[in-house]
Amino acid sequence: MTLALCFSRSGLLNRRINHLANQVLRLHLAFSSSASPSPSDPSSSSAAAAATGPQTTIREGKAEIFLDESNSVFYNKAQVNNRDISIAVLRSFILKRHEEYATRSRKAGTKDTTLSEHAKYKEPKVLEALAASGLRAIRYAVEVDGIGEVTAVDNNEAAVEACKKNIQHNGSLASSKVVPHHADARVYMLTHPKEFDVVDLDPYGSPAAFLDSAVQCVADGGILMCSATDMAVLAGGNAEVCFSKYGSYPLRGKHCHEMALRILLACIESHAIRHKRYIVPIISVHMDFYIRVFVRIFTSASTVKSSPLKLAHVYQCTGCNSFHLQNIGRINSKDERNIAVPNFCPTVPEVCSECGHKFVMGGPIWSAPIHDKKWATSVLSDILALREAYPAYPKISSILTSVSEELLEAPLFVSLHSLCAILKCTNPTMVMLQSAIRNAGYQVSGSHVDPLALKTDAPMSVIWDIMRCWVKLHPVKHRPGNHPGNVILSQEPKLQANFSKVLVASVTRKSPRFMPNPEKYWGPGTKAGRHPKTFQMNNRN
């Protein structure tokens, strides 16, 4: 009786164990099949896709990428202006390369079929040094005709994997041209000297750490596209940090964003001349919350010697904000070699001749032209002809319209509101003030940086004389004290200003120059790996 009971209990226990084992085995098989579905089994892949759900995508131009909800891979929709203007410049550069190649062929008196393999035209190779999601590299590949291989480098494994996924998602053209690499951009550029015709450098923050390797990576005659988003540093908020990163002191003022462009150009030039190379700016723009410069890089040991002629220190008055530039170098007229030598002592006096305040010194900055008007006009023409191809057409067309009209030989600018704020007077219109400057025999233009900017080759003494004449026509109340405005108005003008309107022909007069942001909170996105802070409000009775 006892033995039979024992056998029945053991049989029941075995059945329960077998039942549990079968359940565990079924769960294990189900988990394994869902975790790694067979590529040949369509039902398994559809089940996996149903489990994960459709992934959100972002379309920009002809490219489409997957949105990373975790923010482990950086994407900023506000940089659509940056990417669009880069595509326009790249298209213009390819046309320029064809023209230069045709010119060399005619000079050589040969045809393409008889040229050596080294001399034959090759499609430009592009390097995106900080690729992130790969959107920019993919847009270059699928939207720019005549482009060669596009190498997308990033030091973040998650970014490289996302880049590979986005490349595959954009079809065969993107897959055949865009090559992702997981590497440190600085090391990669140093190990590929003069290999890429275009190097795109768009970091989150300062590009200073990448500039020395970038100028060595660009092929002779190629383009370096460089952005900087650390505007608090470049615009004078942290002068000591700016000097440590860029080797230049910024000055506060209405012209701070143009000065930021010139500080970045001077920094790139300083890195290039160490390797017997020099830069030629094509387009330099301030947009939204960042600056972007496009420069060509050439190699010439003799041309490098004239680099001091393109750099200058800025002396700015602490009272009336008048500024004066002093080039670092000068040409010795007695030397036929035209080699730059150190310049003489500053041309400014110890105190400002207009208001009696002292000067503060900034720089060095790039004092040569920051644009090439022919290039700017060519890029603008391309944008106007292919407006449907640029999602940010209104913004970039307005910026390049202003750029194409800027006075090249006028570093920095004065602001209409700043002049009137110092004198505490009513504002003349921009047309009246520009007409007075032209009637005095000087050139003047606006600036893409500030709608109230006046770029002119007129000295500050002429500008203040014009404002003195304006105040005589529109008197202000006398204020006691040694205010800069009082000191300026206490002097009689040496120039009698003529405010009669001067018409200037312009084929793009009806085009807008400054566009508002397309939506609220238009600015830099949160850096990859970080999440925006959220504040919870506690309801209290």
User: Tell me, what amino acid is at 413?
Assistant: F
Computed over its alpha carbons, how large is the radius of gyration of the chain? 31
Report residue 251 as tokens.
């000055």
Spatial neighbors of 538 by CB under 8 A, at least 6 apart, are none
Helix (H) or strand (E) holding 62: none
Using alpha carbons, select from 389, 381, 470 the residue that is nearest to residue 432: 470
For domain 413-512, the CATH class is alpha beta
CA dist., res. 303 & res. 297, Å (int): 12
Q: List the chain domain ranges.
A: 57-104+122-394, 413-512
d(CA 310, CA 327): 7
Per-residue confidence (pLDDT) for residue 115, from 0 to 100: 52
* Block residue for tokens 């009336």: 320
Peptide bond into 369 cis (omega under 30): no
How many CA atoms does the CB half-sphere of 209 hold within 13 Å?
12
pLDDT of residue 309: 94
For every one of its 541 residues, what pLDDT tens digit does the chain have, with 9 covering 90 and above? Answer: 343 434 344 444 445 445 544 554 444 434 333 333 333 333 333 333 333 456 788 899 999 999 877 656 767 788 899 999 999 999 999 999 999 888 888 877 755 555 555 567 889 999 999 998 999 999 999 999 999 999 999 999 999 999 999 999 999 999 999 999 999 999 999 999 999 999 999 998 999 999 999 999 999 999 999 999 999 999 998 999 999 999 999 999 999 999 999 999 999 999 999 999 999 999 999 998 899 999 999 999 999 999 999 999 999 999 999 999 999 999 887 777 778 889 998 889 999 999 999 999 999 999 999 999 999 999 999 999 999 999 999 999 999 999 999 999 999 999 999 999 999 999 999 999 999 999 999 999 999 999 999 999 999 999 999 999 999 999 998 777 789 999 999 999 999 999 999 877 444 445 677 666 766 666 676 666 565 554 444 443 3
Q: For residue 59, what are the CA distances in angstroms to 71, 77, 80, 81?
A: 17, 10, 11, 14
The C-alpha atoms of residue 285 and residue 288 are separated, in whole angstroms, by: 10
Name which of 59, 33, 58 is nearest 46 in CA terms. Answer: 33
Contact 94, 144 (CB under 8 A): yes
Q: Are 263 and 234 in contact (CB under 8 A)?
A: yes
- Tell me phi and psi for residue 299, to 5 degrees: -115, 125
Give yes or no for a contact between 317 and 361, defined as CB atoms under 8 angstroms apart: no
Determine the CATH number of domain 57-104+122-394.
3.40.50.150
Burial class (CB in 10 A: 0-12, 13-18, 19+), 196: buried
167, 204, 206, 434, 517 from 450: Cα distances, Å: 39, 24, 23, 15, 15
d(CA 267, CA 210): 11
* Residue 154 near residue 177 (C-beta atoms within 8 A): no
Q: What is the pLDDT of residue 47?
A: 36
Cα-to-chain-centroid distance, residue 432 = 33
Predicted pLDDT of residue 340: 87
Q: What are the backbone dihedrals phi and psi of residue 277, each rounded to the nearest 5 degrees, phi first?
A: -125, 160
Q: Which DSSP state fits 351? A: B
CA separation for the pair 266, 249 (Å, rounded):
12
* Angle, alpha carbons 140-531-230 (nearest 5°): 60
For the chain, the straight-line distance linking the first and the last C-alpha, in angstroms and rounded, comes to: 74
Report the pLDDT value the prediction gives residue 285, as an integer from 0 to 100. 97
* 3 state DSSP class of 240: helix
Q: What are the angstrom distances between the C-alpha of 279 and each of 198, 247, 264, 386, 524?
A: 14, 17, 12, 29, 28
Helix (H) or strand (E) holding 123: none
Round to whole Å and give the CA distance between 366 and 141. Answer: 33
Q: What is the pLDDT, as a whole number, of residue 110?
A: 59
Residue from 472, 433, 450, 473 nearest 399 by CA: 450
**Look-up of token digits 């940056």:** 82
- For the chain, what's the residue count? 541
